[in-house]
Amino acid sequence: MRTRFFVEVDAGGEIISVEEGEASSLPAALLPLLGRFAAERVLESGFIWAPESQNEACQIQVAPATSEDPVRASVYVSGEWLEELPFALTYRELDVLTMLALGLPSGEIGGRLHVSPRTITTHVDRIMRKMGAQSRTAAAVMAVDQGIVRVPLPEGAGEDSGVLRLGRTMRGTTTRGDAARRSVKRPLVIGAALPLRGAAVADGIEMARASQLAVEELNARGGIGGREVGLEIVGIDLFDGDQVRTAFEELIGRGVDVVTSGYLARQDVAHEVIAEARIPYLHAATLDAMTQRVREDSTRYGKIFQVCPSDSNYAPRFVEMMTQLRDRGQWRPSSSRLVIAQGGWEQTDLGIVRASGLAEQHGWDLEVMRLGITGPQGWNDLATLMSSSAPAAVMIGNYLVDDTVSFMQSFLRAPSDTLVYSLYSPSVPEFRERMGDAADGLLWATVTGTYSDAHARAFVHRFRNRFGVNPGRSHAGIAYDRVSLIAHAWQFSANPRDAGLVADELRRVIHRGVNGVYHFGDASQAAQTYSGPGGDPSMSQAHLVFQIQAGKQRILDPDPYADGHFMQPPWFSKR
């Protein structure tokens, strides 16, 4: 059965957006009148749609949209199909009440309804008793204020323009609050599942704050077409698959319009929940395995977007960067041996096969090691091994602050002339807080990082003013940009509640954020990467390589985003 609906109708009598329910719930025969409400800019009105040929009624509330452009004049229309008329009125009593509201005397009402004046008097007495009105005038005022007038107007009561006239009489009344509340556009809501429990809490706070800042700024500019944007955050432990599933199901149950998340060890769980819900989802898990899933089954996963390039770029970039430093004479490696230590979650693919080919091409001996023990102890053991075996460089294939700190603290107790190249974790302010000056000299890379240009510096300034601390160099920027991406898609969708239209706009978007350019340009629906010559920085995100120097994050590569030069780590011996 048809129940509630909320739509926007333009001056041409066309439905231009659906907020709630189905467009088919609004009677098509009512559209011309609603178009006149829009064209003539009636401030607000309410009535009961009850054609005499049908034994059903729908309570209608109409309010103007906010646009001042007469070409785009429109009204918001909310409706609810009724099981019985208000105050238990009969349809005949509704006819009489409608004519009272139009200002007709009893004798004239009786003539138009072909009944005696005494019969009308009886109807009026019953109406007053049911409504608790002390007079016929009070009943008429209540009918106008509460929208208890029949449309189409009863036979002989005049044209439906009378309803427009009734609408105009409501200007300045004090009893229309319910209609106004029901006619406000329901906010568009972003749901976020963030690591606010277990590992990576500090990073989760970064994500939450940046999302909050972006939503606040968006609403300060008027939201989306005058519609407020909301943010619903659910905290999770990124390693707990049950928590991931519960959090995503909770967000969907809250009725959010889009779901977002940072990185999840159980990203596969999130993908499956979203695939069933079929609403847009933007994540930053950097997992090639997940983009492959989208590429292979666009029907099931077509509304899922990865807002950063994939992890399979990490190992090749490490080899490229070591080659660049060596060949430019910025670094004299102690040997030709490079080590990649893998210790991430199972779905991680660091691009080892491609890295091996590059290493052979450029004269490196590449060794790939997987930790026998996971967690900090495993990285402690690896650091001891690196100190004793002294490869030219080692890449820490892990994203968590705890593990990278454990490696560095152990390695620096007896360091070798080995470049240490970490992934992502030094982007989190917690890393430098824990390492202090001992972090100097560390190289680290991220497939998506916050640039150092004027656009990014302005974001940092606003973040610091809002929260009293500087943001990190990766996921704060991602979370901020992610809201802008969603806002763009909503803004350009004919109906921001239509998940398919929003997903279509996300596929078209080319957005320059504080972390570079977001463009979902192929079937994987993942952001593209740029690492130097041969890439296109106007359509991708730079794979940034940083070095911590005197407590500051300096971008070494690629151009044109670099703001520093490589410096020999302080733990190197003088040779």
Secondary structure E strands in 150-245: 150-151, 188-197, 229-237
CATH number of 364's domain: 3.40.50.2300
Contact of 262 with 287, CB cutoff 8 Å: no
Q: Are 208 and 74 contained in the same domain?
A: no
Examine the domain organization and report whether 24 and 96 are in the same domain: yes
Asked if residue 574 is part of any domain, the answer here is no
In this structure, the answer to whether residues 290 and 331 fall within a common structural domain is no
C-alpha span between 149 and 76 (Å, rounded): 19
Is residue 277 domain-shared with residue 336, that is, in the same domain?
A: no
Boundary residue ending a domain (141, 165, 183): 183
Q: How is residue 134 written in tokens?
A: 């002390």
Position 237 in a domain: yes
Same domain, 305 and 316: no
Same-domain check for residues 547 and 497: no
Q: For residue 354, count CB atoms less than 10 angstroms from its CB and return exposed for 0-12, middle for 13-18, buried for 19 or more.
A: middle
The answer to whether residues 278 and 377 belong to one domain is no
Any domain includes 285 = yes
Does residue 352 share a domain with residue 301? no
Question: Quick check: is 573 in a domain?
Answer: no
3-class SS letters over 231-285: EEEEEEECCCHHHHHHHHHHHHHCCCCEEEECCCCCHHHHHHHHHHHCCCEEECC
DSSP state of 18: E
Taking residue 470's Cβ as centre, other Cβ atoms within 10 Å add up to 12
Domain match, 393 and 380 both: yes
Tokens of 427: 């982007």
Pairing of strands 516-519, 510-513: antiparallel
Q: Where among 183, 212, 234 does a domain terminate?
A: 183
Residue given tokens 């802008």 in the structure block? 484
Q: Token pair 């607000």 is at which residue?
A: 44
pLDDT tens, per residue, the chain with 575 residues: 457 888 889 888 999 888 888 888 999 999 998 998 888 877 678 899 998 777 789 999 888 875 545 556 888 899 999 989 999 999 999 999 999 888 888 888 888 888 898 899 999 999 999 999 888 888 988 888 888 999 888 765 555 555 555 554 443 333 333 433 344 567 899 999 999 998 889 999 999 999 999 999 999 998 998 789 999 999 999 999 999 999 999 999 988 999 999 999 899 999 999 999 999 999 999 989 999 999 999 999 999 999 999 999 999 999 999 999 999 999 999 999 999 998 766 677 899 999 999 999 999 999 999 876 667 888 898 899 999 999 999 999 988 899 999 999 999 999 999 999 999 999 999 999 999 999 999 999 999 999 999 999 999 999 999 999 999 999 999 999 999 999 999 999 988 888 999 999 999 999 999 999 999 989 999 999 998 887 889 999 999 999 999 999 999 999 999 999 999 999 998 65
Same domain, 99 and 121: yes
- Return the half-sphere exposure (C-beta side, CA atoms, 13 A cut-off) of residue 275: 15
Residues 55 and 204 placed together within one structural domain of the fold: no
Q: Which amino acid would we find at residue 32? A: P
User: Do 442 and 463 reside in the same domain of the chain?
Assistant: no
CA–CA distances in Å: residue 225 to residues 66, 219, 229, 513: 9, 10, 10, 21
The domain tally of the chain equals: 3
What CATH number did the domain enclosing 82 receive? 1.10.10.10
Picking from 127, 158, 183, the residue at the C-terminal end of a domain is: 183
- Where do the H-state alpha helices sit in 14-77? 31-39
For 539, phi then psi, to 5°, come to -130, 15
Q: Which domain holds residue 509?
A: 190-309+454-530
